[in-house]
Amino acid sequence: MKKEFYSNGKLLITGEYLVLDGAKAFALPTKFGQNLIIEEGKNKEIKWISYDADGSIWLDFQLSFDDILKKNTLGESESAKNTLIEILHQSYLLNPDFIDNSEGYQITTQLTFPRNWGLGTSSTLINNIAQWLKIDGFVLLNNSFGGSGYDIACAQNNSPILYHLENGSPIVEKVTFEPKFSENLHFVYLDKKQNSKAAIASYYNNKNKELAEEIVENNKITSAVLKAKTIREFAIALEEHEAKMSNILEMQTIKESLFPDFNGIIKSLGAWGGDFVLAISKENPVDYFTGKGFKTIISYKDMIL
């Protein structure tokens, strides 16, 4: 019996890092995502193959049910497999039926975006597994990988969302965001993959005593971003957000460090210093970024659901 599941990728527009402490985050699901295909197998094992967007195989191995039950992790060079074992082990603790009442599986995953883009290779996988096993994707994320959960919310929703944690529980609100200036918004891939866990650890080392005030400020800016009627209002709000996060993280903004001569605003998305940034400009910025050596520039309409 073949089963297929799909989850959306994600981009975090406001609230990076602060979302971990209850701030409101504005996030957009992407047109890119990941499929999970489940077929029957045998020998009490899982044959697992993961395809990148170009059709190349980036994971191809077998796991015995015993490996999952005992969480038999491999060496450091096998970090992707170890992450998968952890996710499946935590899935078993939430719903043991998929192993206790099965002979085995053949499982295939297929990304529709290059996995180095950072649009949610792990979150889309976790949400797909949660759909398959009828368990809570937020709980599975928390138990296996950690993080705020906004990426799981994007995986599950086909519209823009406002997301926050209330006493540790996820609160997801669908919002309307249809900017008339969408042709002035582009997403630029920096080709510097950020490790989410390392970035979060850095945030916790740097966050200061004014955290409650900073969360209030973040929420005001997020509200201003959602209410912006003009490109100017939108850009001013995001420029303020970038300046405040620069102060909290004690890091230069991406514009300061890489694009000081850019005629427009650049907003970091998610972990600072890697993956995608949002470029806001009146003129088409493709020539500017390609001239700087950045080849992946995606328009708003091609990226966002």
pLDDT single digits (tens) 97-117: 999 999 999 999 999 999 999
* Cα-based torsion angle of the residue sequence 161, 234, 112, 290 in order, rounded to the nearest 10 degrees: -170
User: Above 90 in pLDDT, residue 241?
Assistant: yes
> Is the pLDDT higher at 193 or at 107?
107
Q: What is the DSSP letter of 221?
A: H
Contact predicate 275/194, CB 8 Å:
yes
* Cα-based torsion angle of the residue sequence 235, 237, 238, 241 in order, rounded to the nearest 10 degrees: 160
Q: What is the DSSP letter of 304?
A: B
Sole residue written with tokens 């949400």: 127
Share of the chain above pLDDT 90, in %: 83
Q: What is the CA radius of gyration of the chain?
A: 20
Q: What is the pLDDT of residue 42?
A: 97
Sole residue written with tokens 């197998």: 41
pLDDT single digits (tens) 201-240: 767 776 767 888 999 999 999 999 999 999 999 999 999 9
pLDDT single digits (tens) 155-166: 999 999 999 999
Q: Which two tokens stand for residue 195?
A: 């490790």
Q: Residue length, the chain?
A: 305
User: Above 90 in pLDDT, residue 72?
Assistant: no
Whole-prediction pTM value?
Answer: 0.94
pLDDT single digits (tens) 17-54: 999 999 999 999 999 999 999 999 999 999 999 999 99
Q: How far apart are CA 67 and CA 74, in angstroms?
A: 10
